[in-house]
Amino acid sequence: MSLSAPLATQRRSPLAWRPSTRFAFASLLGAALVALPILALALTALSSQAASIWPHLAANVIPTALADTGRLLLGVGLLCGVIGVGTAWLVTQFEFPGRRALEWLLVLPLALPTYITAYIYVEFLGFQGPLQGALRALTGWRSLRDYWFPDPRSLVGAIFVMAIVLYPYVYLSVRALFGVQAATLVESARTLGASRGRLFWRIGLPMARPALAAGMTLALLETLNDIGASEYLGVRSLTLSIYTTWVNRSSLAGAAQIACVMLLLVVMLIVIEGRMRGQRRFALPVRQPRAVGHVPLTGAAAIAASLACALPVLLGAVLPIGFLAVEVLRRDLWQQADAALLRSLANAVVLSGLAAGIVVALGIGIGAARRQGREPWLPALSRLASLGYAVPGTVLALGLLVPLAGFDNILANASVRWFGFNPGLLLMGSGAALILAYVVRFLAIAVSGVESGLSRISPRIDDAARTLGASAPEVLRKMHWPLARPAIAAAALLVFVDCLKELPATLLLRPLNVDTLATTVYGHASRGSFEDGALAGLLIVLAGLYPAIRLARASGRRG
Amino acid sequence: MIAKTHLHALALGASLLATPALAQSVNLYTTREPALLNPVLEAFTKDTGIKVNAVFLKDGLQERIKAEGANSPADVMLVVDVGEINAAVDAGITQPIKSAVVDKTVPAQLRGPDNNWVTLTKRARIVVVSKDRVQQDAITYEDLADPKWKGKFCIRAGQHPYNNAFFAAYLARNGAEKTEAYLKALKANVARKPGGGDRDVARDILSGQCDIAIINTYYIGLMSKATNEQKGWYDAIKPVKTTFANGGTHVNVSAAAIAKNAPNRENAVKLLEYMLAEKAQALYADGNFEFPVNPDVKESAAVKLLGAVTPDTTPLGDVAKNRKAAADLVDKVGFDN
């Protein structure tokens, strides 16, 4: 090295990479983790066993599954969009009775696992449920031969159940945008005398597009990889087809092939999301944003707004939570509250908490790399890191089994050879495998949360800070972190709640003698009636409730 | 806050690492339900001093043991469905069970190839009808395809493993062409899209949605014992004697195998022998209204409720072999659409 080289370069230790490279490393790590099960899956799909089953799948399984899945996605997307955007607009723009409470109550349905809400609606709307019971008592009708009643075990039922659980994804991300960013524009438009309708259609909705796309993508991916509710409600989705192909034909290869078709669909969804976000960037001005003032509503309009916002809360949270609580009382389920249940609670909280921490750390690295790095492959890496969210939990867990257990075996054999001691399976035996599965599965939430948090910070801030001599990590720590913290905290809480609810990967990858709340509910449901698991179900909801409320508050301030 | 989380994490880590105990223990991988197995496992530990470490899975038991390979802690796998246990043998993750007690207690046709698995209990898949609307005491599976049941027949998804095994048995007896015709005729009779669980068909009989349905026997037993609304479902149905034309009743098994790399093989054998003895058979079979495999158990709850069942003579191995073909036919006729 010549002496004329700048001193700074010479003093650099080998570990001190170019700042963006350090974050790029986080991107690589995240993407590699996610790529692991997907590659395992692709390899399985290409195996020789697969060739023989493909024609059958293509002719008899995939067309129906695609059609059903398409209808499901369309329905859930529309309903989530209408509920999410509509309620977000109402609570950010207007003042009406109950607005302050509804603003955070609207997030609550997220605390419920989709499969639990599905079970509850089948009971609630079922023949022995309160509605049909009351109807029969009123009319004297005796059986379903005398009258017709909507059956939740149908495509429409599935659309309703999933939308009522998942709309908060849209609500949260759109509300954050309406509350802060649209403020200046909306106020100017109001001053110029624009009507309420015009405000919404010409300013609110177009501005909400990137947030709508982000929230909708999460909701639709959840819909796509759902298995519990789809199976119970009788929707032959792609995910369910993957599952039955695997279980009945013992054909993991066939299952992997359908999973690959599904991944293609997901890549399409993500590309569409990218297009919808498009080149539009709604970065904040450097000045602190001001929240928009609420326009008071009166009379019928006020009541209508209250009702419109209360209805999703009622259907998505109050009714299901009330149902669980009533079952706990009616069946005397308190006796289940023993040490084992408390251990399940502790396991669920610790596993979910650790996973959320790791996910968010990786998410910040990936987000920072995308913002500060110039490498053209960084955006692609962050997209790849998000793919895990699209893979159904069962498939993901199966894909992780081979590499993780393989790693364990190599380690155990090496230990035996060098130290004469067999530590057993390190990852599979310790719950680390499960945490890794959560990380792969939910990394997308952190990536999108961090990205949306950072994208609202004007690049001019970065430029100013760098001009004044701040290093890239300093910009992240001193400028981005404080500004994006609410969005990042929101992502962490969301991941935590999702891990609490996760079932299929938890079932497959947990070590001996370890249960979580979700597996406890499943244990009861598979044994007898799911109502026997109402207490554990209620605990999932309660454990998720606090983060959900925090979430609502955090993103309500200036997301 | 952070310190607290760390403490929890440590506590969890400690409890996780503590599992592979050095004391006498046996590790069980099962797809059966915790509430059903726990009483038997607790009795086993009490009587033998051997601790049971269990993981209750849904699917993927075979894949997990295979991936865990030589260092897998799995000793015993306990599953439902002959297809699943045979698949485990085919995957090469089992070993022959060497036990005179097992050989003596369980007839050879209820054990796997080279003793690689053993039946613990049997369950039958039978027809139930509406107590009020159908006057019939016996039926054949073939009769379900009769157009007189049009719009009156209820069944869970055709791709569900219980139906898959039943259709596989039909296929083994009748061949592909007749089975396809049978599936089409059944599909033409359904009152609603095939789906839900086995108990749901009883509820749908109560609600008047259907008159006739197919169900696993132990669900009938469990509903008869229920103290909630399921008692009402039970009261609405009547089990009828169900057989194949010129044959017996379709029976499936719950079965156990010993893992190829079992670290505690002797304890694994002890657990299986224990589960086949009269005491555990009563606990395990009666706990779920299944038919005990041990012929010395005379009075079982299932027999008391439903009477004795004569199993169809189609070998279980043939049923297992026809599963994939049956699944293909179900897709082909669009049974679940």
For A21-89, the DSSP string reads: HHHHHHHHHHHHHHHHHHHHHHHHHTSHHHHHHHHHIIIIIHHHHHHHHHHHHHHHHHHHHHHHHHHHH
B328–A56 CB contact, under 8 Å = yes
Nearest-by-Cβ selection for B336 from A127, A236, A425: A236
Q: Within the 515-544 window of chain A, which residues sit less than 8 Å (CB to CB) from chain B? A: 515, 519, 522-524, 526-529, 531
The number of C-beta contacts closer than 8 angstroms across A and B is 183
Is B78 within 8 Å of B276 (Cβ atoms)? no
Interface with A, mutate which of B25, B30, B45, B59 (most A CBs under 10 A): B59
pLDDT at A351: 96
This model of the complex carries an ipTM of 0.84
pLDDT at B4: 45
> How far is C-alpha B149 from the geometric centre of its chain's CA atoms?
28
B12–A346 CB contact, under 8 Å = yes
Q: Can you tell me whether residue A99 is helix, strand or coil? A: helix
Name residues whose C-beta falls within 8 Å of residue A138's C-beta, 6 or more positions apart in sequence.
none
pLDDT at A290: 56
On chain B, the residues whose CB falls within 8 A of the CB of A232 are 195-196
Looking at the predicted structure, is the pLDDT value of residue A3 above 50?
no
Nearest-by-Cβ selection for B229 from A128, A145, A252: A128
- In the 3-class helix/strand/coil scheme, how is chain B assigned residue by residue? CHHHHHHHHHHHHHHHHCCCCCCCEEEEEECCCHHHHHHHHHHHHHHHCCEEEEEECCCCHHHHHHHHHHHCCCCEEEEECHHHHHHHHHCCCEECCCCHHHHHHCCHHHECHHHCCEEEEEEEEEEEEECCCCCCCEEECHHHHCHHHCCCEECCCCCCHHHHHHHHHHHHHHHHHHHHHHHHHHHHHECCCCCCCHHHHHHHHHCCCCCEEEEEHHHHHHHHHCCCCHHHHHHHEEEEEEECCCCCECEEEEEEEEECCCCCHHHHHHHHHHHHCHHHHHHHHHHCCCEECCCCCCCCHHHHHHCCCCECCCCHHHHHHCHHHHHHHHHHCCCCC
Q: Which residue of B has its CA nearest to A397?
A: B60
Pick the range with the lowest mean pLDDT from A191-195, A290-294, A350-354, B52-56.
A290-294
Looking at the predicted structure, is the pLDDT value of residue A143 above 60?
yes
pLDDT at A224: 87
Which residue did the predictor score with more confidence, B145 or A264?
B145
Which residue did the predictor score with more confidence, A553 or A299?
A299
- Model confidence at B7, in pLDDT bands (50, 70, 90)? very low
Q: Other CB atoms closer than 10 Å to residue A336's CB: what's the count?
A: 17
CA distance B316 to B320: 6
* DSSP code, position A479: I
Looking at the predicted structure, is the pLDDT value of residue A314 above 60?
yes
Nearest to B266 by CA among B22, B24, B28, B12: B24
- Model confidence at A281, in pLDDT bands (50, 70, 90)? low
B73–A397 CB contact, under 8 Å = no
Give the minimum alpha-carbon distance from A398 to chain B in angstroms, rounded to a whole number: 7
Question: Which tokens go with A316?
Answer: 């998505």
* DSSP code, position A293: P
pLDDT at A432: 94
> Global pTM?
0.86
Pick the range with the lowest mean pLDDT from A185-189, A314-318, B283-287.
A185-189
Q: Which residue of A has its CA nearest to B56?
A: A507
Q: Which residue of A has its CA nearest to B332?
A: A60
A508–B195 CB contact, under 8 Å = no
On chain B, the residues whose CB falls within 8 A of the CB of A252 are 63
On chain B, the residues whose CB falls within 8 A of the CB of A504 are 58
pLDDT at A12: 41
Looking at the predicted structure, is the pLDDT value of residue A5 above 50?
no
On chain A, the residues whose CB falls within 8 A of the CB of B222 are 528
pLDDT at A188: 76
Is B160 within 8 Å of B168 (Cβ atoms)? no
pLDDT at B49: 95
* Mean predicted confidence (pLDDT) in B81-95: 92
* Mean predicted confidence (pLDDT) in A462-489: 81
pLDDT at A54: 79
* Mean predicted confidence (pLDDT) in A230-247: 83
Looking at the predicted structure, is the pLDDT value of residue A508 above 60?
yes
B161–A247 CB contact, under 8 Å = yes
Which residue did the predictor score with more confidence, B240 or B197?
B240
Give the minimum alpha-carbon distance from A165 to chain B in angstroms, rounded to a whole number: 21
Q: Within the 327-366 window of chain A, which residues sit less than 8 Å (CB to CB) from chain B? A: 331, 343, 346-347, 349-351, 353-354, 357
> Which residue in the block uniquely carries the two structure tokens 């009020």?
B132
Looking at the predicted structure, is the pLDDT value of residue A546 above 60?
yes
Looking at the predicted structure, is the pLDDT value of residue A286 above 50?
no
Question: Which tokens go with A410?
Answer: 């190599």
Looking at the predicted structure, is the pLDDT value of residue A259 above 90?
no
Q: Can you tell me whether residue A499 is helix, strand or coil? A: helix
Instruction: Look over chain B and give the mean of its residue pLDDT values, rounded to a whole number.
Output: 90
- Model confidence at A182, in pLDDT bands (50, 70, 90)? low
Instruction: Look over chain A and give the mean of its residue pLDDT values, rounded to a whole number.
Output: 83
Looking at the predicted structure, is the pLDDT value of residue B321 above 50?
yes
Interface with B, mutate which of A350, A352, A521 (most B CBs under 10 A): A350
On chain B, the residues whose CB falls within 8 A of the CB of A60 are 328, 331-332, 334
Nearest-by-Cβ selection for B12 from A429, A431, A524: A431
B232–A128 CB contact, under 8 Å = yes
Of A176-185, A287-296, A434-443, the range with the highest mean pLDDT is A434-443
pLDDT at A482: 81
Of all residues in chain B, what percent carry a pLDDT higher than 70?
93
A151 CB within 8 Å of a chain B CB? yes
pLDDT at A61: 84
Nearest to B221 by CA among B163, B288, B156: B288
Question: Which tokens go with A151?
Answer: 């059956």
* Mean predicted confidence (pLDDT) in B124-133: 96
pLDDT at B16: 46
Give the minimum alpha-carbon distance from B209 to chain A in angstroms, rounded to a whole number: 6
On chain B, the residues whose CB falls within 8 A of the CB of A405 are 64, 67-69
B60–A422 CB contact, under 8 Å = no
Q: Do the strands B291-292 and B118-130 form a parallel or antiparallel pair, or are they unpaired? A: antiparallel
pLDDT at A313: 96
On chain A, the residues whose CB falls within 8 A of the CB of B68 are 405, 408-409, 425, 428
Note the pLDDT tens digit of each residue in A315-372: 999 999 999 999 899 888 888 788 889 999 999 999 999 999 999 999 988 888 877 7
Note the pLDDT tens digit of each residue in B31-73: 998 888 999 999 999 999 999 999 999 888 999 999 999 999 9
Q: Which residue of B has its CA nearest to A416?
A: B71
A529–B63 CB contact, under 8 Å = no
- Model confidence at A204, in pLDDT bands (50, 70, 90)? confident
pLDDT at A232: 84
Q: Other CB atoms closer than 10 Å to residue B172's CB: what's the count?
A: 22
Question: Which tokens go with B131?
Answer: 């107590």
Q: What is the number of residues in chain A? A: 559
Nearest to B127 by CA among B112, B151, B143, B111: B143
Question: Which tokens go with A370?
Answer: 């995308």
pLDDT at A289: 53
Is B126 within 8 Å of B214 (Cβ atoms)? yes
H/E element, A95: strand A94-95
* Mean predicted confidence (pLDDT) in B19-35: 81
Q: Which residue of A has its CA nearest to B17?
A: A430
Question: Which tokens go with B149?
Answer: 């049941």
Looking at the predicted structure, is the pLDDT value of residue A373 above 80?
no
pLDDT at A50: 62
On chain A, the residues whose CB falls within 8 A of the CB of B55 are 510-514
A144–B208 CB contact, under 8 Å = yes
Looking at the predicted structure, is the pLDDT value of residue A526 above 80?
no
CA distance B62 to B79: 10
Q: Do the strands B118-130 and B237-243 form a parallel or antiparallel pair, or are they unpaired? A: antiparallel
pLDDT at B15: 46
A280 CB within 8 Å of a chain B CB? no
Nearest-by-Cβ selection for A523 from B20, B56, B324: B56
What sign does the dihedral A330-A331-A337-A341 (CA atoms) show? negative
A244–B328 CB contact, under 8 Å = no
pLDDT at A4: 41
Nearest to A431 by CA among A360, A521, A348: A348
pLDDT at A464: 84
- Model confidence at A410, in pLDDT bands (50, 70, 90)? very high
In A110-119, which positions are buried (b, 16+ CB within 10 angstroms) versus exposed (e)? bbbbbbbbbb
A510–B55 CB contact, under 8 Å = yes
Q: Which residue of B has its CA nearest to A403?
A: B67
* DSSP code, position A177: I
Looking at the predicted structure, is the pLDDT value of residue A547 above 70?
yes
- Model confidence at A91, in pLDDT bands (50, 70, 90)? very high
> Which residues are registered as beta bridge partners of A425?
none
pLDDT at A277: 65
Name residues whose C-beta falls within 8 Å of residue A51's C-beta, 6 or more positions apart in sequence.
none
A64–B334 CB contact, under 8 Å = yes
